[in-house]
Amino acid sequence: MAEEAIKLGGKRKSTFMDTVRDLLPDGGNLNLCLTCGACSSGCPATGLDGMDPRKFLRMAALGMDEEIRKSDWPWMCTMCQRCVYVCPMKIDIPQLVYNARAMRPREERPKGIVGSCDMALRNASTSAMGAAPEDFKFVIEDVLEEYRESQPEFADMQAPIDKQGAEFFLNQNSREPVTEPDELLPLWKILHLAGVDWTYGSKGWAAENYCMFLADNDGWEHVTRTSVNQANELGCKTFLNTE
């Protein structure tokens, strides 16, 4: 008598991996993993918290949602896309990481990232350091004036804010104007010597977007839209992202 084939459980429950697959073009190639390990070899977070991209992907494929939700490893990922770049099947692991972050209730996500996102949403600068537009303007003008006086060869250098019709809309990591204002100068000098037509915006000038790393879609969109709207209002043609 022929033996019956072994059946492994019933219908598999839907997992967060299924959700991500539905969001991505061609399902993000999530079913094509060869377990070659190329993703892990190029990942700066490999080995942290006993995890790597290949292991993370296999856990997701096996429906280990709760184990993934509890893991801190998705918060160690920089979203640098190296895993996608080296993957022969171009599997979109960063999108899985993003959704793994979103699985946690907001109040249980890393406090530093939550605080930085919330700070960016408090004023039009979108600065995670909390620098308001008028504070940013004061620092820029003060640093520029001081440098012009100390370096006569750059006496005509500009650091414009809200210049209408500039070619480039430049953003800036808000740590520099708040804690390291002298670090603003090298980029200004390069732009000046290259003859670039650029401007900061008084709104949306902060380059960092912690809401993206928090997996806060509404906050991420608000920060990005604030910058884009300001660039459009000024008539800038190119968004120059320093981050």
Check pLDDT > 70 for residue 222. Answer: yes
Helix axes 53-61, 16-23, angle to 10 degrees: 100
At 19 the pLDDT is: 72
pLDDT tens, position by position, 164-210: 999 999 999 999 999 999 999 999 999 999 999 999 999 999 999 99
pLDDT of residue 97: 92
- The pLDDT score that the predictor gives to residue 30 is 73
User: What number is the average pLDDT over the span 222-236?
Assistant: 97
Segment 155-165, tens digit of pLDDT? 999 999 999 99
- What pLDDT does residue 65 have? 85
Least confident of 16-30, 126-140, 144-158: 16-30
**What's the confidence (pLDDT) of residue 5?**
47
Helix (H, G, I), strand (E, B) or coil at 88: coil
Residue 14 has pLDDT above 60, yes or no: no
Statement: residue 1 has pLDDT above 60: no
23-47 average pLDDT score:
82
Average pLDDT over residues 232-243: 94
pLDDT for position 8: 35
Check residue 216 and give its pLDDT. Answer: 96
Domain ranges of the chain: 16-104, 112-240
